[in-house]
Amino acid sequence: MIVGIDLGGTTAKFGLYDEKTMRIVEHSVLETKKLYGEQVIKALYDHYVSWLAAINTRDEHIETIGLACVGPVDEKTDVIKDARFGWIDFPVSKIAKKYFKKTVYLVNDARAAIIGEKWRGAGRKLNNFLMYTLGTGVGGGIVINKQVFVGSHNYANEVGHGGKMQDSLVCRCGLSGCIEPMSSATGIEQTFQSYIKEHPSSSIAKLQLKTKNKLTVKNVVPLIKKNDFDAILCLEKALFPLASHIAVMIHSLDPDAVIIGGGPSALGQPLLDIITKIVRKYTLPFTHELVKIVLAKLGNQAGVYGAIFVAARKYNDYITKTKLHSVDESPNVNNDALKNKILRCN
């Protein structure tokens, strides 16, 4: 059995993968908000121990663990370059091995999500696609010829940063035009708050008065489904930088599809409609029917699937001596199936 962990700034999601049924058979979630430094790894381990006990699974039956983490990962050394939890050049795998007493394979969380969607989700039958995951930040990636593209320096999935896609907010990375501060789930929620200040009698403001905490994207779903003017306007504003980025990437890469994942995908079709409307305005007409903008299928489990996939591949020695996810080594489930029973889809 394999455990996949998707460690984010708010929660860590755990999944137990059974090779016999080729399914994730158990799930669990741990809050990570107040954790810092090595304490994070210890908390993951403590949760792992109590979770396995609760589901009557013995540690010796877990062959390997995959850990998807926020922040850029040097996958040669399994070091996080810079992330939440005060992690700078933090040797995650080394410290995790100290607690778990087995190898814990590391992968960037956004990359794990795209691997998950390629393996078992919306990208399964696609050759070329882009993915954007809207969470605390904006992650994502590119799949070319069924393979995750990692770039020359392994940072090709940082779609949330760079360029001048907006001029309202400075990003946590220090740059001023990134899509992340506006189009992430956090950015969308901040847009609601600034709109409420400017429009105190709007439907969004009225909804905020009825809601105990600051409005989340989920809170606004009923308004969006009713095609509410204020809610749609907020989303159009927040999603403009994302859609601009997608428009540029569609012209650069000519993909089959663009997959949108993360919390705001709970908005469903209206979210796609808003993004599509802006993308169509800023792309040439011949692309409109060719490139589909679709929702991710695995929801918040995509990262867990990706972590399991990475751990399984490395554990099986199939690619341990080569660079993980290099263009000719990334998840190609059909090829893997020939060599690797664990990764067969069905």
Distance in Å, CB of 35 to Zn ion, minimum:
23
Could you say whether residue 70 binds Zn ion (CB under 5 A)? no
What gap in Å lies between CA 234 and CA 194, rounded to an integer?
Answer: 9
Count Cβ atoms within 10 A of the Cβ of residue 321 and give its class: 0-12 exposed, 13-18 middle, 19 or more buried.
exposed
Could you say whether residue 259 binds Zn ion (CB under 5 A)? no
Length of the chain counted residue by residue: 346
Is the CB of 171 or the CB of 302 nearer to Zn ion?
171
Distance in Å, CB of 162 to Zn ion, minimum:
7
Distance in Å, CB of 180 to Zn ion, minimum:
5
What gap in Å lies between CA 109 and CA 187, rounded to an integer?
Answer: 19
Could you say whether residue 207 binds Zn ion (CB under 5 A)? no
Stretch that binds Zn ion, among 87-95, 136-144, 171-179, 313-321 (CB under 5 A): 171-179
Is the sign of the CA dihedral 210, 216, 222, 224 positive or negative? positive
Q: Which two structure tokens, joined as six digits, stand for 132?
A: 């954007």
Is the CB of 66 or the CB of 241 nearer to Zn ion?
241
Stretch that binds Zn ion, among 61-69, 165-173, 215-223, 292-300 (CB under 5 A): 165-173
Side chain identity at residue 338, one-letter code:
L
Is the sign of the CA dihedral 55, 58, 59, 65 positive or negative? negative
Distance in Å, CB of 178 to Zn ion, minimum:
3
Is the CB of 167 or the CB of 289 nearer to Zn ion?
167
Is the CB of 81 or the CB of 199 nearer to Zn ion?
81
Stretch that binds Zn ion, among 5-13, 122-130, 168-176, 295-303 (CB under 5 A): 168-176
Q: What is the 3-state secondary structure (H, E, C) of 219-235?
A: HHHHHHHCCCHHHHHHH
Element (H, E) at 51: helix 38-54
Strands (E), the chain: 2-7, 11-18, 23-31, 64-69, 73-74, 79-83, 87-90, 104-108, 129-134, 138-144, 147-148, 257-262, 292-295
Could you say whether residue 171 binds Zn ion (CB under 5 A)? yes
Residue 159, helix vs strand vs coil? coil
Element (H, E) at 112: helix 109-120
Distance in Å, CB of 101 to Zn ion, minimum:
37
Distance in Å, CB of 161 to Zn ion, minimum:
4
Spatial contact of 3 and 44, defined as CB atoms under 8 Å apart: no
Could you say whether residue 313 binds Zn ion (CB under 5 A)? no
Distance in Å, CB of 181 to Zn ion, minimum:
7
Is the CB of 123 or the CB of 137 nearer to Zn ion?
137
Could you say whether residue 111 binds Zn ion (CB under 5 A)? no
Please list, in sequence order, all residues whose beta carbon lies within 8 angstroms of the beta carbon of residue 161, skipping any fewer than 6 positions away: 171, 173, 175, 178, 179, 180
Is the CB of 138 or the CB of 207 nearer to Zn ion?
138
Site size for Zn ion (CB under 5 A): 6
Could you say whether residue 29 binds Zn ion (CB under 5 A)? no
Is the CB of 159 or the CB of 258 nearer to Zn ion?
159
Q: Which residues from 135-164 bind Zn ion, rule CB under 5 A? A: 161
Distance in Å, CB of 70 to Zn ion, minimum:
14
Q: Which residues from 172-201 bind Zn ion, rule CB under 5 A? A: 173, 175, 178, 180
Is the CB of 144 or the CB of 173 nearer to Zn ion?
173
Is the CB of 168 or the CB of 340 nearer to Zn ion?
168
Residues in the site for Zn ion, rule: CB under 5 A?
161, 171, 173, 175, 178, 180
